[in-house]
Structure 1
Amino acid sequence: MKTLYVSDLDGTLLRTNQKTSDFTNKIINELVEEGLLFSYATARSYNTSHKVTEGMTADFPLIVYNGVFVRDNASGEMLLKNFFDEEIKEVVLELIEYDLSPIVYAYVDGVERFTFNIDEVNDATLEFALTRKNDSRYRPIKSLEELIAGEIFYLTLIDDESKLKPFYDKYKDKYHCFFQKDMYTGNQWLEIIPKNASKANAIKQLKDMLNCDRLVVFGDGVNDIDMFEIADEAYAVENAVDELKEIATGVIACNDEDGVAKWLYERVKGESIK
């Protein structure tokens, strides 16, 4: 029987300092080398997730952008992908009409880009964008045509809750939307991705691709509920929200105590995992 193990990243596999520990890196690398089928699922991009897990060098698939893409950890090869249709460009125009400042993630001329209008962006969005200034995807522009260029796969908005909530309500059934406060800054975010993209859907696709029979997941937040609901076993870290703990198989040590790696070491290390 083959089991796929999938962990959330921020607040679960990562410590509060937004890094994986040396212990976690060592355990994951060793177990994957021994045959463990492992992945992590995150809202982060491949670029930023790779930076915060840089000691995790084993070859395994990553679920990034909340399930929009599945990529190989070592090579970056795209294994699965989801894009919006052209209609999303009308949504971007509507958001701008209402004085919002979307960050548009797209493949432009075959290259992944993180695009925003440098002349129209609000302070919170600019602050976030500047944290990616040295990122190869960083693309400040000044025209609407450039903003909506390419194959779009993700929209991010950072603004007042009162300005974003109407658009969450409007589009939550048409697309897959995330409306929550950032765990590090407390700013209100609205993220919009293709309807068929989610952590749970990406995990299902990955499970099929790897011919796995069972699924074990780890998480900390409400955005992990969908993957908990499809798992055979689901473990919440001690620092998880109560809603997740209530539906979990069990509660493990917190992220700052390397709960996921310790659980894997104790439960999987030494077993026949190939």
Structure 2
Amino acid sequence: MKTLYVSDLDGTLLRTNQKTSDFTNKIINELVEEGLLFSYATARSYNTSHKVTEGMTADFPLIVYNGVFVRDNASGEMLLKNFFDEEIKEVVLELIEHDLSPIVYAYVDGVERFTFNIDEVNDVTLEFALTRENDSRYRPIKSLEELIAGEIFYLTLIDDESKLKPFYDKYKDKYHCFFQKDMYTGNQWLEIIPKNASKANAIKQLKDMLNCDRLVVFGDGVNDIDMFEIADEAYAVENAVDELKEIATGVIACNDEDGVAKWLYERVKGESIK
């Protein structure tokens, strides 16, 4: 039987310093080279996930933007994709009318862009945007027309919980929404993606593409629940939230102890790591 192994990234495969360790990189590269069917699923983009997994060079598919795209780790080739329809542009206008500062992710003239109105964004959004200043997707603009240009696939808002919650409630059934605090900064985020896009749906499609019979997943947060629910086995790292541990097949070592890599090595090789 063919098994697909999928790990969450932040808080699971990444250590708390937001990087994969040399040990994890070595183990994943080695196991994939030997035939392990592996992927990681993340809210990050292809660009930023590559930066934090530098050294993990094996050829395997990546689930990025919470399932909006599946791309090849080595080549960057787009394997699966989801976009909003044109109606999302009206949502962006509504958010702006309510003094919110959306970051709009879109393909503009065929190029992936991270677009925000540099004159209108709030301080926390600007602080986050500036972390992408050297990123090829970085696109500060000054007009509404530019903000909603292209094929939109992701919206991010960072603001007070009280301002964001009404829009989470309004759109959570129409789109796939994430409403949570960032694990690194504690800021409240609302992320909106196409309805059909999710880690679980992307994993299902990937499982079919690879003709796999079984699915084993790893995670740490509530946003991993959907992929835990479709898995044959689901393992929470020790640092995971209680809600995830309650539905997990088991609990493994924490992210800072390379729990996923150690578990994979021991399962596939049948050998313990001292």
1:109-120 matches, cutoff 5 A: 109-120=109-120
| Structure 1: 4+ residue segments shifted above 6 A | 271-274
Q: Deviations over 1:84-131 (max 9, x none)?
A: 000000000000000000000000000000000001000000000000
Shift of 1:270: 5.4
Cα 1:183–1:15 change in 2 (3 A) is: same
SS in 2 for 1:104: strand
In the alignment, what sits opposite 2:13? 13
Q: Whole-Å Cα distance in 2 between the matches of residues 32 and 214 of structure 1?
A: 17
Aligned-partner Cα distance in 2 for 1:239–1:272: 22
* Aligned twin of 2:163: 163
Aligned to 2:269: 269
- Work out whether residues 36 and 273 of structure 1, in 8 Å CA contact, stay in contact via their aligned partners in 2: no
CA–CA separation in structure 2 for the residues paired with 1:14 and 1:205: 24
Taking the aligned partners of 1:268 and 1:260, their CA distance within structure 2 comes to 12
Is the 8 Å Cα contact of residues 220 and 240 (structure 2) preserved in structure 1?
A: yes
**Structure 2 unaligned runs (5+)?**
none
Identity %: 99
Separation in structure 2 between the aligned mates of residue 203 and residue 272 of structure 1, nearest angstrom: 29
TM-score by length of 1: 0.98
Contact preservation (8 Å) 2:262, 2:273: no
| RMSD of equivalent CA atoms | 2.2
Q: Give the CA deviation at 1:272.
A: 16
SS of the residue 2:90 aligns to: helix
The equivalent of 1:148 in structure 2 is: 148
- Count of residue pairs brought into register by the alignment: 274
Shift of residue 170, structure 1, vs aligned partner: 0.1
Q: Contact (CA 8 Å) 1:35, 1:273: kept in 2 or not?
A: no
Deviation by residue 1:202-249 (Cα, 9 ceiling, x = unmatched): 000000000000000000000000000000000000000000000000
Per-residue CA deviations over 1:115-171 (Å, capped at 9, x if unaligned) read 000010000000000000000000000000000000000000000000000000000
State the 1:271 CA deviation. 9.4
Classify the secondary structure of the residue corresponding to 1:268. helix
Identify if the C-alpha distance between structure 1 residues 92 and 129 changes in structure 2 by more than 3 Å, giving closer, same or farther. Answer: same
1:161-207 Cα distance to aligned partner (Å, 9 max, x none): 00000000000000000000000000000000000000000000000
TM-score if structure 2 supplies the norm length?
Answer: 0.98
Sort the Cα spacing of 1:28 and 1:271 in 2 relative to 1 into closer, same or farther, 3 A.
same
CA contact (8 A) 1:158 1:187 kept: yes
How far 1:269 moved relative to its partner? 2.1
8 Å Cα contact 1:103-1:157 kept in structure 2: yes
